[in-house]
Structures are given as structure tokens and as C-alpha cells.
Chain A
Amino acid sequence: EVQLVETGGGLIQPGGSLRLSCAASGFTVSSNYMSWVRQAPGKGLEWVSVIYSGGSTYYADSVKGRFTISRDNSKNTLYLQMNSLRAEDTAVYYCARDYYDSSGYGALVYWGQGTLVTVSS
């Protein structure tokens, strides 16, 4: 059974850093495309970042240069290092596994339960 469990959220002051973890089971993180998606309180979904199986990474403009996505193959875990945090980064952060069918159509099929990050003084 595929399972994703995010940890690491909490209250952090503006300008601070936080690292989110997403422990995966039932599949191999390094063999899949893995994404982070966030949702500010009462708002919609915002894609944050993706890491491809080959290691390439991409970021939303809103976090580029401040956030870093990575993975630890030995721990089968995905990470999101968040630096220079701002109030507008306050959100529930979800990790998700991308799935691509044989025709190349992709979607976020498996999601974690989310972890709340609150940036406030």
C-alpha cells in the first residue's frame, strides 16, 4: 500500500528556515516524480516543486531561490528545505507522487495528509 507521511511543520519566524520531510512506503521515491503542493488557509492549491526520477528539479516562481527539493534514497524520503520564510508561505504542505500512464499523461495520484507551516512573529 502506498503511503506518504509529512512531518516537520510548525511555527517559524519570518526569515527563518524549516525542513519538511515526506516518508514514503509501498514504492520507491527515487523511481518516481515527486511533488510538493501547498494550500494557504482558506485558499486554493498551489504547486510548489517537483523532483524527477532522474534528479531534475523545478520550482514555482514564488519559492525559487528559497526552497530546495531533495530526496534521500536510503531513507525513501522526500524533503523540502525552506529558507527565508515569509508570512505568505504559511500553508499546509502536501507531498504527492506523480503517476504517468503509457500515453504520457500525468497526475498527482497519491497524497500525504499534509503538514502545517505557520510563518509569524
Chain B
Amino acid sequence: DIQMTQSPSSLSASVGDRVTITCRASQSISSYLNWYQQKPGKAPKLLIYAASSLQSGVPSRFSGSGSGTDFTLTISSLQPEDFATYYCQQSYSTPPVFGPGTKVDIK
């Protein structure tokens, strides 16, 4: 199975900050990489699919990049509603493993 790692596991940031989260796959997954946002008590929400495609309705401050094994989710200017946990997921092969998550909280 493909293993997914994320860094950092948590970070503290302020409103307006630029935030970058990294996801790494244990083998090449081309661009088969998705990013989800989850808030406490809520279902995950798809932000980015195919590594860099913004899901409909998601603010343009979110962006994704990368291919192969290394990927990045960037929030260009952190907003109050962005404090949440972010997960990457590979969709290259079954099982479609999720990363362990990155919690973004208020500094």
C-alpha cells in the first residue's frame, strides 16, 4: 500500500498569514492527490483534487501544487474560517490512503 505523510502535524498561525502544508507519498502517484478540510464535528470537505484543481465553490486563496511524491497545499491569506485540520489523500491506487492530518490553529 502507498503510505502518506504530512508535515507539520500542527501549526499555529495568525489571520492573514501564508500557510503551507506538505504531503509526501511513499511512491509516485503522479497528480492523484486530493486535499480535504475538516472542522470539529463536521464531515471533511474537498478543497483540491488532481493535486492542483480547485473544487467548485472553494475560495481561490487555497491552492495545491506538486506531482510524483511531493505535494503542497497553500493558503495565501489565512482567514478565521480556515482554522481546521487538513488531510491529503492519494487516489492513485486502492486503498486510497489519507495522510495523518495537519491541524491549523490560532496563534
Interface residues of A (CB under 8 A from B): 35, 37, 44-47, 50, 58, 60-61, 94, 101, 103, 105-109, 111-114
Check: B31 CB closer than 8 A to any chain A CB. Answer: yes
Q: List 30 A-B contacts (CB under 8 A).
A: A35-B96, A37-B98, A44-B99, A44-B100, A44-B101, A45-B36, A45-B38, A45-B87, A45-B89, A46-B98, A47-B96, A50-B94, A58-B94, A58-B95, A60-B95, A94-B43, A101-B50, A103-B50, A105-B31, A105-B49, A105-B50, A106-B32, A106-B49, A106-B91, A107-B34, A107-B89, A108-B34, A108-B46, A109-B46, A111-B43
From 49 to 107 in chain B, residues with beta carbon under 8 angstroms from any chain A beta carbon are 49-50, 53, 55, 87, 89, 91, 94-101
From 1 to 49 in chain B, residues with beta carbon under 8 angstroms from any chain A beta carbon are 1, 31-32, 34, 36, 38, 43-46, 49
Contact among A58, A61, A106, A112 with B43 in the assembled complex (CB-CB below 8 Å) = A112
Interface residues of B (CB under 8 A from A): 1, 31-32, 34, 36, 38, 43-46, 49-50, 53, 55, 87, 89, 91, 94-101
Contact among B49, B94, B95 with A101 in the assembled complex (CB-CB below 8 Å) = B49
Q: Which residues of A sit under 8 angstroms from B95, Cβ to Cβ?
A: 47, 58, 60-61
User: Are A105 and B98 CB-contacts (below 8 A) given A44-B87, A111-B43, A111-B44?
Assistant: no
Q: Which residues of B sit under 8 angstroms from A111, Cβ to Cβ?
A: 43-45
B contacts with A: majority SS: loop
Q: Which residues of A sit under 8 angstroms from B99, Cβ to Cβ?
A: 44
A contacts with B: majority SS: strand
- Whether A44 lies near B98 (C-beta < 8 A) is yes
Identify the 4 closest CB pairs spanning chains A and B, nearest first: A105-B50, A111-B43, A107-B49, A45-B98
A60–B89 Cα gap in the complex (Å)? Answer: 15
User: Are A108 and B44 CB-contacts (below 8 A) given A44-B101, A47-B97, A47-B98?
Assistant: yes
Q: Which residues of B sit under 8 angstroms from A114, Cβ to Cβ?
A: 43
